[in-house]
């Protein structure tokens, strides 16, 4: 896992995402005196309070239109709420 990466502008971020294609990307809401320094030497100023509300498991009448899932075992995909077991290979989440 690569952590604490700093980008000076949008282009740098886009190049990094294109070249490395990480599975997850997170944004820190913290403010540091020296963001490029090692973690214990960054000089934390504070942070914004941010709420991340995940609604991907909320049942909605339109989930079969926009929610998609892919079986990590066989690659079969479907729409709607992800089943506990893949209907093709039986693989579990």
| Residuewise pLDDT in 10s, the chain (93 residues) | 778 888 889 999 999 999 999 988 988 899 999 988 998 999 999 999 998 887 777 778 888 888 899 999 999 999 988 899 999 999 997
Is residue 12 within a helix (H) or strand (E), and if so which, with residue range?
Answer: helix 10-20
Residue 88: predicted pLDDT: 97
Residue 55: predicted pLDDT: 75
* Whether 45 contacts 33, CB under 8 Å: yes
Distance between CA atoms of residues 93 and 90, nearest Å? 10
* Whether 44 contacts 30, CB under 8 Å: yes
Residue 53: predicted pLDDT: 82
Judging by beta carbons within 10 Å of its beta carbon (0-12, 13-18, 19+), is residue 71 exposed, middle or buried?
Answer: buried
Residue 87: predicted pLDDT: 96
Q: In the block, which residue shows the tokens 């214990």?
A: 40
């Amino acid at each position: 896992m690569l952590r604490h990466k700093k980008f000076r502008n949008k282009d740098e971020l886009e190049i990094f995402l294109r070249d490395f294609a990480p599975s997850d990307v997170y944004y820190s809401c913290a403010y540091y005196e020296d963001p490029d320094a090692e973690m214990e030497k960054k000089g934390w100023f504070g942070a914004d309070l941010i709420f991340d509300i995940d609604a991907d498991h909320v049942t909605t009448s339109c989930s079969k239109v926009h929610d998609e899932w892919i079986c990590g075992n066989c690659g079969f995909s479907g729409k709607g709420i992800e089943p506990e077991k893949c209907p093709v290979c039986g693989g579990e989440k």
